[in-house]
Amino acid sequence: MIHHICRLFEGRRFIAEKKVIAGIGRQLLSATLLIAFSTSLYSAEGLTREESLLKEQELKTRLAEYQRVVVAEPFINIHTGAGRGYPIFHIVEQKESLWIVRRKYNWFHVISKEGKEGWITLDAILKTKNPDGTDVEFTTYNERDFAERDLEIGFRVGDFGGANVLGVSGAWQFTQNLAGEIVIGQGIGDFSEVRQTTVNVTNSPFPEWKYSPYFGIGGGVVKVIPSAAIVQEVDRSDETVFVTGGLKSYISDKFLFRFEYRNYAILTTQETNERIEEWTIGFSVFF
C-alpha cells in the first residue's frame, strides 16, 4: 500500500515538472521570437532612414545647381507638362522655395523642396522673389539649353561646286545626339542656277561640348536651270545622296554658329555620276 502511494506521488510530481518545463520552453520561444522581430524591425527602420537621408542628400546636391526663387503669392500651381492642357498635380504655397531647371518658351521646369518636378507659367514665375526678397532676374539661355534644344532654324552661305549658294534650314532634335534636318538652297553659277532640296539625319556624339562636331547622311533633289544656251545637253533635275560633317558652336542667348561640309553624288542619267563638294557657314536660332 505504501509502495503504491509513493509511486502515485512520484508520477504526479513528474507530470508537474513536465508542465513547468513546457511552460519555460514556451516562454523562451516567445522571447526568442520577440527579439528576432524587434531586431528585424530595427534593421528595416535603420535601412529606411539611411535611404531617406541618401535621397535628401542627392536632392540637395542637385538643387544646388539651379536658381532658387521663393513664392510670393498665396500659391502656385505646378503642371505635369509645359502647357495649360497638362493637369495640375502639385501646389506650392507662399514662402516655399522652387528651383528653376530650364525654360521652354513661356514655361519653366521647376523642382520643389520635396523633389516634385513639373512646369509653371511665366506669369507664375513673375510672382516669385529671390531668397533675399528682391525681384527675380532670370538667367538667359546657356549651353545647357543648347544641348537640350528641340527645334533649330537657320541660314547658310557657301560654295556648291563653284557656285555661290544660299540656303535656309530647319532641324528637329529627336534626342540630344540624333537630329533630322531639311535644307532648301539656291546657287548661282556662271552658266546656270542650281536649286536643291535635301533631307538628312545627323549624329552629334558630344552635344554638351562648346564646339560640338556632327556627322550625317542624306539625300534629295538637285535641279539645274541653264542661264544661257549650252551645246551639251544636261540633266535638268537629278536625285542626289551625300555625306556630311560639321561643327556647331553655341554663341550666346539662343544663337549658334555652324560650319558644314557635304560631298554629293549626283545620280545623273549619264554613264558616270557627278561628284560635287559643298562648303557652308551659317547661323541658327534654337528653341
**pLDDT per residue rounded down to tens, the chain (287 residues):** 555 544 544 555 545 555 555 556 566 666 666 665 555 555 555 547 777 777 777 877 878 888 889 998 899 999 999 888 899 999 999 899 999 988 877 789 999 988 889 999 888 888 899 888 888 776 556 666 777 788 999 999 999 988 899 999 999 999 989 999 999 999 887 777 889 999 999 999 998 888 899 999 999 999 888 766 554 555 578 899 999 999 999 887 788 999 999 999 988 877 778 899 999 999 998 87
Give residue 161's region: left, alpha or beta (phi > 0; psi -120 to 50): left
CB of 109 closer than 8 Å to CB of 100:
yes
**Is the CB of residue 252 less than 8 Å from the CB of residue 282?**
no
* Cα three-residue angle 187-188-189, rounded to 5 degrees: 120
What is the per-residue pLDDT for 162? Answer: 86
CA 66 to CA 63: how far, in whole Å? 6
Instruction: Specify the pTM.
Output: 0.56
Which residues are CB-contacts of 255 (< 8 A; sequence separation ≥ 6)? 283, 284, 285, 286
Q: In the chain, what are the domains?
A: 67-139 (2.30.30.40), 146-286 (2.40.160.20)
**Rg of the chain in Å (alpha carbons):** 37
Contacts 24+ apart (CB under 8 A), 140-144: 140/252, 140/253, 141/103, 141/253, 141/254, 142/250, 143/208, 143/210, 143/250, 144/102
261 C-beta neighbours (distance < 10 Å), count: 15
Helix (H, G, I), strand (E, B) or coil at 138: coil
